[in-house]
Structure 1
Amino acid sequence: MNIEETEDSLYPIAVLLDELRADDVNFRLNAIRRLSTIALALGVQRTRDELIPFLDESIDDEDEVLLALAEELGNFCEYVGGKEHAHIILGPLENLAAVEETLVREKAVESLTKIAAVLSQQQIEDYYIPLIKRLGSGDWFTSRTSACGLYAAGYQNATPSSQEDLRSMFKALAQDDTPMVRRAAAANLGKFAKKIPKEHVILDIVPLFSKLAEDEQDSVRLLTVEDLVAIAEVLSKDECKNYLLQTLRSMVSDKSWRVRYMIAENFVKIAKAVGDEVTRENLVMAFVNLLKDNEAEVRTAASGQVPGFAQYVDKQTILSHILPCVKDLVTDTSQHVRASLATQISGLAPILGKEATTEHLLPLFLQLLKDEFPDVRLNIISKLEQVNEVIGIELLSQNLLPAIVELAEDKQWRVRLAIIDYIPLLASQLGVTFFDEKLGSLCMSWLGDNVYSIREAATINLKKLTEVFGVEWAKTTIIPKILEMGTNQNYLYRMTTIFAITTMAPAVTPEVIRDHILPTVNSLVSDPIPNIRFNVAKSYEVLIPVLRQCSETAVLLETQVKPALDKLRDDPDTDVKYFAEKALLAGK
């Protein structure tokens, strides 16, 4: 029955009630997800008069259903008649913001802030602020934690007297006896600070921040690190120095490693927020202490900040204070610290310049390239391009090429893969003569690797090298070696030949395909291994467009390619037949 056509106005609500009381959670969940459809059918008046009150009164006991409801209601303004009636949605969301499950409360707070953004000042005064007061004075900590997330959204649209009340109420929550509430206050203090005029940030927010940063619970203190950044972005550089610096110093030496970890993780953001002068004068030794911290997790986080922080200090400071720490971290007992450093250390090269990089960083790169932990080697390889741009390929190859060649045969396949990805860039800088002498045989050896991903990457690498050095180089240097593998007794080598020439085909000329590649593909049409035969069919599908480009080679489609595909189409193997048919369609 159509909802709009029923005479009984309670029918839709009754139906929804039945669905929401069904034993099957999925059934109830689907009912919640259809709320917008039901609201459209009811119309805005009945949605306000019937549906919203019903949702306000019936709270499900399943968190999954409540979570879906909290999300749906955040997008419900249009269904109740737009902005002027949006406050009606606050009721059920207030109930959801007080439930036990954290995810439901967080989603309800998110939806409440969405609704607050469209409310008028009168609606904020009449409905939103009273809601915050009720949640903020609730007996259970759950409602008070939710209240902490609502202040920022409603503050700017409130009257001056209400704004004063909001600041006062937030202060009370930040001093709540329950750690969970103080934690919620700390998590939202920075957002609140961004909505408040600077004079009230200094008068009200900074003292709250300082108190929370000294809280007895480290789970509260660690959340104030992001507050520090947010508040610093509101204040001037001198104000940061006057009001925040002492607290920052205390946080850097906090007795809890988790707080120090958060400081280390956000150190570049902090340096940017407080400005160059404060950073140079007051934060260098703080950063050095984090790099030397006795907890590996803190050193790991600080290592990841090295190049970012180096941008805010002068070169001499880097050489005198930061680089000695970096040298120690290269041999750190924690592999995670070394891996984090390996990801970031090359970022120092553009800052230090060619001479200092050659003198100070290259030995460290070499040491990291020989690290026993594969992720360290992998991370340093992946960022060598930055070093190359600073010192040039000649110095890089002289110092690091032996280590790179050694890593090309690393027992960890992911390291070998990273080297393969780096080869085309290296080749373009080295030049063809140097490449053929030092790395050519290495690139061919990867085609016989026992790991499929390496063989696949090696074929792609050959295509990229062809694009770098040209078709003539490929024709004389690598294609003969690839084709030679096509007669190997081991079928994996023959398979690799098919993969390689198929991958390279778009990068070479139709003449090279005619004279060198096509004869080998044709010879493998009768290969005894079905996997090779269907890959031959796939290869033809790639070769056809290239052969068509030239009238001299297009004739080969009728004389060689089509007969071969006809033969494969009659193959006893169904996969071979399928790919042959597919290639024939491409040839039409």
Structure 2
Amino acid sequence: MATIDEPLYPIAVLIDELKNDDIQLRLNSIRKLSTIARVLGEERTRKELIPFLGENNDDDDEVLLAMAEELGAFVPYVGGIEHANVLLPPLEALCSVEETSVRDKAVESLCRIGARMTGKDLIEYFIPLVKRLAAVEWFTARVSSCGLFHMAYPIAPEVSKTELRTIYGQLCQDDMPMVRRSAASHLGKFAATVEVTHLKTNILPIFEDLTRDEQDSVRLLAVEGCAALGKLVDPEDCVEIILPIMVNFSKDKSWRVRYMVANKLYELSEAVGPEPTRSDLLPAYVRLLRDNEAEVRIAAAGKVTQFSRILNPELAIQHILPCVKELSADSSQHVRSALASVIMGMAPDLGKDATIVQLLPIFLSLLKDDFPDVRLNIISKLDQVNQVIGIDLLSQSLLPAIVELAEDGHWRVRLAIIEYIPLLASQLGVEFFDDKLGALCMQWLKDKVYSIRDAAANNVKRLAEEFGPDWAMQHIIPQVLDMVNDQNYLYRMTILHAISLLAPVLGSEITSSKLLPLVINASKDRVPNIKFNVAKVLQSIIPVVDQSVVEKTIRPCLAELREDPDVDVRFFATQALKSSNQVGKSS
């Protein structure tokens, strides 16, 4: 029986597996290409493996996608950059397949290889490849070619550059909408490589044709080109050519195009130059804020702060604020949520007076919105308003709403309020805080939701850091003493967690005299979960207190817990005792 020559064996196995009916075997074989290439060596990889892959007619998209990805990283296995051109044919074939993800990956790999190729090889192999793809009758190849022009153009000779610009213009007018879409999508990248002198004569006319395309999917991609081209051309050309196109797009019959305009309008405004010119975009933006489609209003509302920032405050107050007021009562909860996430940022730009008179009522209405996400988005940005209107006015206007939200039925809203409390506490001062919010902070320790109790414990620690040990002794410790014996074991566990967090903040003396006795007492609890948490808390307290306290109080308690009938209690008690031994040795 004839045997396969050993050097030929890997390629024989590969061929065998690539023809197997089992897709997983074929896929595994593709994933091993780099290993097989190393075994074959660079020359045989170039002469045998790569040509074989180019002839592979696998019809499974997953296998082809894997091949397109693998080939993008194959330059070292074919002998380096000087031989990179051998990888182009199989990838060129993959650029014509029907599956979009395979074509996209093939284009990505071609760009990756092209970025490493020498100028000579790019001219000899890469540019002809781009031209061939752009001329193929089947549209998928032409779609792929659009993503390669920005790689080919910079190194092309002048004659080829003229030809490439012409070909790209033809692709922008292709009969197939999918090709025009691809051309519109990649126009910005291609334009960035084209000389300034040709931008106005070649690229802008192409772009204007795309903006008038009958397919809305082409026009919306052209919108993206507005912002990209705006940054490339002179400000005068941007104002004269691109700005009117963008304004016209804001009235497009397709809501998808208008949605894209709402997303890109601010980006374009940065390219059009000084403030007076930017104000030309204002009517278009106002139109988008009042659009019939909720999706467009969502996109526009999300840019309110950014757009207000590029206008002078008077224009923003006169034109943007009335729209903001309308949006705060919009029928779509998602519009209100988008507005709530950014509206706070308007305060610094509008100034104190406009914020108090115009924005504050809107804040208050959004704080009482029926939709939890709206309330959450407002709460998370309250600090931006503090800086403008001052804490006195904030406490008078917003504090009642905050107190109300502290008992909100939606737990995520309560959580957001808890996380905001330390910041509010530092600004309100200790007396005001004790009067208005102190009781709330302890109330949260007995919330039904674990995440709230956990956040409340961390909140108590942060407040102790803010106001100091003396304040904690007066306002926290007495209530902790009351709650540590609560009938609900879950609340008792929360108090133990709070003690472990407070101990490092309050220091050795207070921990030893006030907190430790509570923990020791809890070690007699009837619930095993409490007892093993006691062991964990004692372990965390060991570094805080004196060694004498560890020896006299903590270790005896842990030794007793180590004999507990419950396996978890014994485990954590043993861990804590080991920790105390290490601390004892180090001291």
TM-score of the two chains, using structure 2 as the length reference? 0.96
Q: CA deviation at 1:279?
A: 4.2
Q: Of residues 551, 555, 568 in structure 1, which corresponds to 2:561?
A: 568
Partner of 1:159: 157
Q: Is the 8 A contact 1:121 1:159 kept in 2?
A: no
Contact 2:272–2:278 (Cα < 8 Å) also in 1: no
| Corresponding residue to 1:491 among 485, 489, 492 | 489
Amino acid at match of 1:297: E
Distance, in Å, in 2 between the alignment partners of 1:316 and 1:359 is 14
Q: 1:537 aligns with which of 535, 538, 541?
A: 535
Distance in 2 separating the partners of 1:479 and 1:279: 62
What's 1:136 paired with? 134
* CA distance in structure 1 between the aligned counterparts of 2:389 and 2:462, rounded to whole angstroms: 24
Counterpart contact for 1:59–1:66, Cα < 8 Å:
no
Q: Secondary structure at the match of 2:203?
A: helix
**Residue type of the partner of 1:587?**
S
Task: Tell me which residue corresponds to 2:330.
Answer: 332
Cα distance 1:113–1:258, how it changes in 2: closer, same or farther (>3 A)? same
- 3-state SS of the aligned residue for 1:488? coil
1:583 aligns with 2:576: yes
Contact 1:13-1:54 at 8 Å conserved across structures: no
* Deviates most, 500-509 or 146-155: 500-509
Partner of 1:46: 44
Give 2:106's match in structure 1, choosing from 81, 105, 108: 108
| Residue 263 (structure 1) shift | 0.5
Unaligned runs of 5+ in 2: 582-587
Which residue of 546, 551, 558 maps to 1:558? 551
Q: 2:238 aligns with which of 224, 240, 250?
A: 240
Q: CA deviation at 1:7?
A: 5.0
Quick one: distance in 2 between partners of 1:575 and 1:266? Answer: 58
| Percent of paired sites with the same residue | 56
Contact 1:279 1:313 (C-alpha < 8 Å) held by counterparts? no
Does the 8 Å contact 1:483/1:497 carry over to 2?
no
Does the residue aligned with 1:234 lie in a helix, a strand or coil? coil
CA distance in 1, matches of 2:334, 2:15: 54
Give 2:517's aligned residue.
Answer: 519
Aligned-residue offset at 1:392: 1.6
Q: 1: distance between equivalents of 2:468 and 2:138?
A: 73
Count, aligned residues: 578
User: Aligned AA for 1:517?
Assistant: L
Q: Which amino acid aligns with 2:266?
A: V
State the secondary structure of the residue aligned to 1:579.
helix
Whether 1:276 aligns to 2:269 is: no
Contact 1:233–1:273 under 8 Å retained in 2: yes
Are 1:152 and 1:191, in contact at CA under 8 Å, matched by a contact in 2?
A: yes
Matching residue of 1:456: 454
Q: For 2:222, which of 221, 224, 243 is the aligned residue?
A: 224
Q: How does 1:167-316 map to 2 (within 5 A)?
A: 167-277=165-275, 279-316=277-314
Cα offset for 1:364?
Answer: 1.0
Residue identity in the other structure for 1:241: V
- The code of the aligned residue for 2:25 comes to F
Cα contact 1:120–1:157 (8 A) shared by 2: no
Q: Distance in 1 between matches of 2:54 and 2:135?
A: 20
In structure 2, give the amino acid aligned to 1:422: Y
Pairwise CA distance, 1:61: 2.2
The 3-state SS of whatever aligns with 2:310 is: coil
Residues of 1 paired with 2:551 and 2:103: CA distance? 69
> 1:31: Cα distance to partner?
2.1
Gaps of 5+ in 1: 1-5, 548-552
Letter of the structure 2 residue corresponding to residue 79 of structure 1: Y
Structure 1 residue 568, shift from structure 2 partner: 1.6
Deviations 1:99-129 (A, max 9, x none): 1111111111001011111222322222112
Q: Does 1:320 align with 2:318?
A: yes
The structural deviation recorded for 1:490 is: 2.1
User: What amino acid sits opposite 2:575 in the alignment?
Assistant: K
Alignment partners' CA distance in 2, 1:99 and 1:80: 24
How does the TM-score come out when normalised to structure 1? Answer: 0.96
Q: Considering only aligned residues, what root-mean-square deviation do their CA atoms show, in Å? A: 1.4
Cross-structure match for 2:584: none
Query: Per the alignment, do residues 107 and 515 of structure 1 end up closer, same or farther by CA in structure 2, a change over 3 Å counting?
Result: same
Q: Residue in 2 aligned with 1:3?
A: none
Amino acid at match of 2:158: P
Distance 1:291 1:231 in 2: 25
From 303, 317, 340, the equivalent of 1:342 is 340
